[in-house]
């Protein structure tokens, strides 16, 4: 019988393989995938590495670990391999039909919760998340704000199925999910207290510089603004897409959908703030400002409807 590797040695060798493959966060990736192969969470694995670093890796776990490492070496994101990603302290199911939730998007939730504390109405307030993807924003708000009603809008049927599964599994019973384009959401005019969105905002030029992990695996339509009519099999990106197209359309939709005093919160590219702020200087808006993420980059645009 061939010798089976020890736990710590297997982790070190696979970390080195991932480093050679040039993937992001090779050590963290190896830890998460080894934990999955062993049927553990990462914290349990780290504890075992301290207490039993020379424990033998079982043959079935070794085979599974090798398969997972091969997928990661090819650039597949860990979240897709695991099938889930943490967002605001909860695990959300993800698939290649959805964008992987990012930590910086949690700023949208923080700002929404801060604003919600100032809303005082006799009837339950209403929020909408346009382009919900996994549903991470809408489901989180539905759970954090039980008095509020919410609607999550998504144009991709496959992504909407993921969002609905997350809502059901996490217990967001008050959340309504709708299949629709965010440009024509099934929301009555002047009905929203809060409108949130993390729209596609990557320009054509920026998209071509993204890592292979993003370009090869995450849905392009969730990253780059592009109308279906503009896409062809030969030219999947519209020539000269600036990244601002969907954000500008959302500002117009928010103007019609928000109540007076209602708040627009939208994630944006870190260089897009000045161009979008200029669209919020008219008589319909007040208090337009940018909020920075933990890296100090402009990340969320906020403005209230007059």
3-state secondary structure the chain: CCCCCEHHHHHHHHHHHHHHHCCCCHHHHHHHHHHHHHCCCHHHHHHHHHHCCCCECCHHHHHHHHHHHHHHHCCCCHHHHHCEEEECCEEEECCCCCCCCCHHHHHHHHHHHHHHCCCCCCCCCEEEEECCCCCHHHHHHHHHCCCCEEEEEECCHHHHHHHHHHHHHHCCCCEEEEECCCCCCCCCCCCEEEEEECCCCCCHHHHCCCCHHHHHHCCHHHCCCCCHHHCCCCCCCCCCCCCCHHHHHHHHHHHHHEEEEEEEEEECCCCCHHHHHHHHCCCCEEEEEEEECCCCCEEEEEEEEC
Average pLDDT, the chain: 94
Q: What is the CATH number of domain 97-305?
A: 3.40.50.150
Domain boundaries, the chain: 7-75, 97-305
Confidence check: pLDDT of 12 > 60: yes
Q: pLDDT per residue over 101-142, tens digit each? A: 999 999 999 999 999 999 998 899 999 999 999 999 999 999
Q: pLDDT per residue over 205-259, tens digit each? A: 999 999 999 999 999 999 999 744 444 434 444 455 799 999 999 999 999 999 9
Confidence check: pLDDT of 148 > 60: yes
CATH domain 7-75 topology: Helicase, Ruva Protein; domain 3 (1.10.8)
């Amino acid at each position: 019988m061939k010798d089976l590797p020890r736990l710590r040695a297997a982790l070190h060798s696979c970390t080195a393989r991932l480093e050679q493959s040039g993937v992001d966060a090779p050590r963290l990736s190896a830890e998460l995938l080894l934990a999955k192969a062993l049927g553990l969470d990462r914290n349990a694995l780290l504890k075992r590495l301290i207490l039993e670093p020379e424990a033998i890796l079982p043959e079935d776990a070794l085979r599974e670990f090798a398969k997972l490492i091969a997928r990661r070496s090819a650039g597949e994101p860990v979240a897709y391999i695991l099938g889930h990603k943490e967002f605001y302290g909860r695990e959300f199911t993800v698939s290649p039909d959805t964008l992987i939730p990012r930590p910086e998007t949690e700023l949208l939730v923080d700002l929404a919760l801060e604003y919600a504390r100032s809303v005082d109405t006799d009837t339950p307030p209403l929020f909408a998340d346009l382009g919900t993807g996994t549903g991470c924003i809408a489901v989180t708000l539905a759970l954090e704000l039980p008095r509020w009603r919410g609607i999550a809008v998504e144009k991709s049927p496959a992504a909407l199925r993921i969002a609905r599964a997350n809502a059901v599994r996490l217990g967001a019973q008050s959340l309504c999910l709708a299949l629709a384009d965010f440009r024509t959401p099934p929301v009555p005019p002047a009905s929203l207290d809060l409108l949130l969105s993390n729209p596609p905002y990557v320009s054509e030029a920026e998209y071509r510089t993204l890592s292979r992990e993003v370009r090869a695996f995450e849905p392009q339509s969730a990253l780059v603004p592009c109308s279906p009519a503009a896409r062809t099999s030969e030219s999947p990106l519209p020539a000269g897409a600036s990244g601002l197209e969907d954000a500008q359309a959302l500002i117009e939709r928010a103007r019609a959908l928000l109540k007076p005093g209602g708040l627009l919160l939208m994630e944006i590219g870190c260089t897009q703030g000045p161009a979008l702020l200029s669209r919020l200087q008219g008589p319909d808006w007040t208090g337009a400002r940018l909020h920075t993420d933990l890296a100090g980059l402009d990340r969320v645009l906020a403005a209230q409807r007059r």
